[in-house]
């Protein structure tokens, strides 16, 4: 199995992965607002998701393992295990 690092990820993929994260946060907000899912405090939930969206946009998550995993999938189409045995 090939090992990947952030050096393998192109700037274009980083942008696409950030956009994906932002869209996921917005989808979570939309589900909660529509009533499709229930949350205890909708306003706090929206603020929390907005904070995550801001972090994606700023690049805060760029060096986090979940970000790298999604970037690898977006760029190479491979799902890689996060934890090796």
Q: Does some domain include residue 39?
A: yes
**Do the domain assignments include residue 25?**
yes
Backbone angles phi, psi at 43, to 5 degrees: -65, -45
Does residue 82 lie in a domain region?
no
Residue 84 inside a domain? The answer is no
* Full residue range of the structural domain in which residue 31 is found: 8-76
* Residue 6: per-residue pLDDT: 79
Q: What is the pLDDT of residues 31-79, one digit of tens each?
A: 999 999 999 999 999 999 999 999 999 999 999 999 999 999 999 999 8
The answer to whether 70 and 20 have CB atoms below 8 angstroms apart is: yes
Evaluate whether residue 2 is within a structural domain: no
Number of domains in the chain: 1
Q: What is the pLDDT of residue 56?
A: 98
CB–CB of 30/83 below 8 Å? no
CB 29 within 8 A of CB 9: no
Global pTM reads 0.88
Domain presence at residue 3: no
Termini Cα distance of the chain: 13
Q: Assess if residue 61 is contained within a domain.
A: yes
5-30 per-position pLDDT tens digit: 778 899 999 999 999 999 999 999 99
Give residue 4's pLDDT band: very low, low, confident or very high (50, 70, 90).
Answer: confident
């Amino acid at each position: 199995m090939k090992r990947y690092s952030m050096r393998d990820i192109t700037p274009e993929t980083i942008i696409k992965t950030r956009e994906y994260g932002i869209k996921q946060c917005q989808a979570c907000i939309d589900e909660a607002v529509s009533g499709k899912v229930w949350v205890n405090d909708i306003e706090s939930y929206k603020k929390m998701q907005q904070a995550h969206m801001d972090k994606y946009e700023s690049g805060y998550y760029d060096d986090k393992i979940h970000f790298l995993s999604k970037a690898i999938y977006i760029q190479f189409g491979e799902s890689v295990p996060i934890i090796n045995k």
